[in-house]
Structure 1
Amino acid sequence: MTAVVVITDLVVLAKHLRLLDLAEQRGVTPLFVFGPETPAEELARHRSDPAHPLSRIPDEGLRHVTDTSLETVLRAVTPWLREHAVRAVLNVGEVFVEAAGALAQTLGLPGPGTHAAQVCRNKVLQRLAAPALAPRWTLLDTTRSTAADGWEVFPAVLKPASRMSSSGVRAVMGPAGIRPLLPDYGADELLLLEERIEGREFSVETLVRDGSVLWAGITAKDTNESDTSFFTETGHTSPAPHLTPDQERLLLGANAEFLRSVRFGTGMSHAEFRLTTDDRVVLMEAAARPPGDAITRLWRLATGMDLDAALLDLVLGIEPVIASPRRRARQAYLDHPRGLLADVTADGVPVHWVSERGQWPDLLPIPKEAPARGHAVLVSRHHGDVLGDQSDSRGRSVSVVVDAPLDDDIDAAVLGATWSITIHTVPVEAPEEVVR
Structure 2
Amino acid sequence: MTSVPHLLLVCPRTDILGKLLGLPVALTVVHRPGGDRELEEATALRVVDADFQDPDALLATAREVHARRPLDAVLGMTELSLYPVSVVADVLGVRGNGAATVALAQNKAAMRRLLHERGVSSTAHRLCATAGDAAEFLRDHPGGIVLKPVDGNGGTGVHLVRDAGELAAAWAWTTGAKAAWAWSKEATGAPRVLAEEYLSGQEFSVESLSADGRHRALMVTRKYSSGPPHFVETGHDQPAGLAEPACTAVTSAALDALDAIGYRWGPAHTEVMLSADGARATVVEINARQGGDQLWELTQHTTGTDLLLWSVLALAHAAPPPGSAPLAGGAAIRYLRPAPGRVTAVEGVDEALAVDGVIRVGELCRPGQTVAPLGDSWNRTGYVVATGPDAKAAGAAAEAAAARIAIRTEPEAQ
Question: What residue is the counterpart of 2:147 in the other structure?
Answer: 158
| Structure 2: stretches of 5+ with no match in the other structure | 177-188
Query: So what's the TM-score if we normalise by structure 2?
Result: 0.85
The amino acid across from 1:209 in the alignment is A
Whole-angstrom distance in 2 between the partners of 1:218 and 1:274 = 12
Q: 1:24-423 alignment to 2 at 5 Å?
A: 24-34=22-32, 38=33, 40=34, 43=35, 46-47=36-37, 53-54=39-40, 56=42, 61-65=47-51, 68-131=53-116, 132-140=120-128, 142-149=129-136, 151-153=139-141, 154-184=143-173, 185=175, 190-225=192-227, 228-241=228-241, 243-279=242-278, 280-317=280-317, 318-323=319-324, 325=326, 326-345=328-347, 346-349=349-352, 372-379=356-363, 381=365, 384-406=368-390, 409-423=393-407
Q: For structure 1, which segment, 408-417 or 198-207, has the greater mean C-alpha deviation from structure 2 after superposition?
A: 408-417
Deviation of the 1:57 alpha carbon: 6.8
Kept after mapping to 2: 8 A contact 1:6/1:31:
yes
* SS of residue in 2 equivalent to 1:179: helix
Deviation of the 1:347 alpha carbon: 2.4
Kept after mapping to 2: 8 A contact 1:349/1:376:
no
Deviation of the 1:79 alpha carbon: 1.8
* SS of residue in 1 equivalent to 2:300: helix
Kept after mapping to 1: 8 A contact 2:121/2:282:
yes
Deviation of the 1:290 alpha carbon: 1.0
Q: For structure 1, which segment, 215-224 or 410-419, has the greater mean C-alpha deviation from structure 2 after superposition?
A: 410-419
| Structure 1: stretches of 5+ with no match in the other structure | 352-370, 431-436
Query: Cα distance 1:190–1:254, how it changes in 2: closer, same or farther (>3 A)?
Result: same
Confirm or deny that 1:6 pairs with 2:9. yes
Whole-angstrom distance in 2 between the partners of 1:340 and 1:407 = 34
Query: Cα distance 1:17–1:350, how it changes in 2: closer, same or farther (>3 A)?
Result: farther
Deviation of the 1:307 alpha carbon: 1.2
Whole-angstrom distance in 2 between the partners of 1:58 and 1:90 = 14
Query: So what's the TM-score if we normalise by structure 1?
Result: 0.81
* SS of residue in 2 equivalent to 1:16: helix
Deviation of the 1:137 alpha carbon: 1.2
Whole-angstrom distance in 2 between the partners of 1:337 and 1:253 = 40
Number of aligned residue pairs: give it: 389
Deviation of the 1:198 alpha carbon: 0.7
Whole-angstrom distance in 1 between the partners of 2:8 and 2:162 = 46
Question: What residue is the counterpart of 1:365 in the other structure?
Answer: none
Whole-angstrom distance in 1 between the partners of 2:367 and 2:72 = 40
Whole-angstrom distance in 2 between the partners of 1:96 and 1:276 = 34
